Amino acid sequence: MAFQNLSPLAKSLVTAFVHQDPSVSEKKIAVNPLVARVASWYEKLRNAMDYREDEVILRAAIERILKRRILLGGTGETIAEPLIRELAWARYFKDETLSESSIEIVSYQINFFLRLKERLLAGRLLKEGVINEWVLHLLSSSIEKILNRQKEKELMNNFMFHIMKQNIAIEEEDDQTKDAQVFIAVRRSFAKDDIAFLRYHLFAQFFGESFANQDVDTVSSEFLSAYKEIQRQLTYSRKEAVYAYIKRKTAAFFILEDIMRIYKGDLVAILESEEELKKAVFEACSARYSGIASKVRRAIIRSVIFLLFTKAFFAFTVEGTFESFFYGEVFWKSMFVNTTIPPILMVIVGLFIRMPRIDNSKRILAFTQTMLFDEDPRLGSSLAIQKVEENKRPYLTLVFTVLWLLASIASFGAIVLVLTKFNVTIISQGIFLFFLAIVSFLSYRIGLMASVYTVDEQQGWLTPVIDFFFMPIVRVGRHLTEGISQINILLFVFDFLIETPFKGLFAFFEQWFLFLHTKREGLE
């Protein structure tokens, strides 16, 4: 084992990681620490009410600020600096890490997308709501990429894509479709991209990375073609099979990224020794496993806050009103139990999270060696997706559909039966099922978070039985959770009725503190 024995792809990756970009001395943006402390606490509360992956919280915050300021008639010149300062207040970036030159770049991006939006609305090729959503997604992703450059993460994304596409074959599909599906799956599993990021990266593949520097009329004229192709790839019928396969291999790439980043100055020495590489892999695995507990704990806290806010809203507006109207009184005891059980279930779930074991680390080591030293790396068995023939087995499909419906009826029916025996009102039962489904989905997501560093995990013999009764509830919970995020009135109140004046106060006090500072300087 030696550095010269690395595969060409791995050698390019190592060289790019070791290479340091020259640092440029620029004037940085500083914010008042007191304002930043208050703003960061507000942002934590706001994010807890809108359940998202950690990796997309910054982009979602940018989108939220853009939506509010564009609605008030802002332009690039009036939005860019306040947006960046809001992000600095909220501690998305450490103080004095963002350069003042980024304001001009962000301003240009905002103006480009606002002009693009005008062209698209004038052309009436898509609905106004679709255009607004896409422009906000593309713009917020573009700004996040400008402010939060992650060169190493992008290098690993590219490395993973080139390896994984060699391990996958899709029958009767061209290379473009296969590459697009692998690209999407890699970004979902490794970069944790949401739909906005996926649209942005596919858009960049269609127009080129620097598409915002192109003529806006050129981009708008080709926008519909790009939209249709991106939608086709994002709704591809076999995309989940590709994603599930790649997701089971992703942990090895997380560990390799850690090794590259932590031992950047000693990479060559580590790659020269099999024992040193093994030690580095096992240490990186151990560190990642240890970090799972704190990440799961944060996810549970955020989920509990999300549940408490939404459940309290439903309890006082829907459940209380219904019971007062139909029963003449509010069943406070039932409402209290109904409100507290979902968060308690979330906490209980956290107690049963299991960490990966030593055999998982050994599999990651084997995958790492294969990725680095094999000319044609194969990470376990390859994936071959055969063509899906419509109506090949219509009766079997019908049987599976009936079984799925029976599982749904059995799962929800058993819960309703128990609640009825305890004389729970119909509306309380409906709300209980509503939040039980959400808790099930959030619990499932937290469980996936704990297994993100597990490679090629084998199913237990009870897994199919659990899936049969549990998955219907989880899938309902997923749709409900996504729906709440879209229509949550509390979020609207926070974003437009509270956040706008709140952030205005932040700006006022920051200027006031700066004024006081200048007066103090005059006495020195």
Place of tokens 């979602």: 60
Residue 106 has pLDDT above 80, yes or no: yes
Please tell me the distance from the alpha carbon of residue 301 to that of residue 346, in angstroms, as a whole number: 9
Counting the structural domains of the chain, the total is: 1
Residue 333 has pLDDT above 90, yes or no: no
Q: Euclidean distance between the first and final Cα of the chain, in Å?
A: 64
As a whole number, mean pLDDT of residues 249-277 equals: 87
pLDDT of residue 517: 53
Question: Within the chain, how many helices (H) and strands (E) appear?
Answer: 22, 2
Place of tokens 């024992």: 275
The DSSP secondary-structure symbol of 498 reads I
Please tell me the distance from the alpha carbon of residue 481 to that of residue 438, in angstroms, as a whole number: 6
Please tell me the distance from the alpha carbon of residue 487 to that of residue 500, in angstroms, as a whole number: 19
Structure tokens at 252: 């090895």
> How far lies 365's CA from each of 46, 157, 266, 272, 359, in Å?
40, 19, 18, 15, 10
Query: 218: closest CA among 119, 118, 107?
Result: 119
Structure tokens at 207: 């127009």
Q: Which residues contact 159 (CB under 8 A, 6 or more apart)?
A: 9, 10, 13, 253, 371
pLDDT of residue 107: 95
Residue 284 has pLDDT above 70, yes or no: yes
Is the distance from CB of 485 to CB of 51 less than 8 angstroms? yes
Half-sphere exposure of 359 (CA within 13 A, CB side): 3
Structure tokens at 407: 């599982």
Query: 109: closest CA among 223, 213, 255, 226?
Result: 213
Q: What is the pLDDT of residues 366-394, one digit of tens each?
A: 999 999 998 888 888 888 887 665 555 66
- Calculate the dihedral angle through the C-alpha atoms of 307, 309, 311, 317, rounding to the nearest 10 degrees: -160
Residue 360 has pLDDT above 60, yes or no: yes
Give 384's strand partners: 169
> How far lies 466's CA from each of 54, 256, 317, 475, 477, in Å?
28, 33, 35, 14, 16
Q: What is the pLDDT of residues 459-486, one digit of tens each?
A: 555 566 666 667 777 777 777 766 655 5
Helix, strand, coil shares, percent, the chain, to 5: 75, 0, 20
* pLDDT band at 265; cut points 50, 70, 90: confident
Query: 384: closest CA among 213, 170, 96?
Result: 170
Is 63 a domain residue?
no
Is 271 a domain residue?
yes
3 state SS of 383: strand
* pLDDT band at 50; cut points 50, 70, 90: low
pLDDT of residue 318: 66
- Give the other-Cβ count within 10 Å of 226's Cβ: 18
Is 45 a domain residue?
no
> Which range marks the domain in which residue 301 is found?
255-487
Q: What are the phi and psi torsion angles at 380 (to 5°)?
A: 75, -155
Is 476 a domain residue?
yes
Is 342 a domain residue?
yes
pLDDT of residue 49: 64
Tell whether the torsion through CA atoms of 176, 182, 187 and 193 is positive or negative: positive
Q: Which residues contact 486 (CB under 8 A, 6 or more apart)?
A: none
As a whole number, mean pLDDT of residues 265-290 equals: 86
Residue 166 has pLDDT above 70, yes or no: yes
Is 517 a domain residue?
no
Q: Which amino acid belongs to residue 491?
A: L
The DSSP secondary-structure symbol of 99 reads B
Is 159 a domain residue?
no
Is 178 a domain residue?
no
Residue 145 has pLDDT above 70, yes or no: yes
Residue 191 has pLDDT above 80, yes or no: yes
Please tell me the distance from the alpha carbon of residue 6 to that of residue 3, in angstroms, as a whole number: 6
Please tell me the distance from the alpha carbon of residue 451 to that of residue 214, in angstroms, as a whole number: 42
Q: Which amino acid belongs to residue 371?
A: M
pLDDT of residue 53: 73
Structure tokens at 226: 């790009």
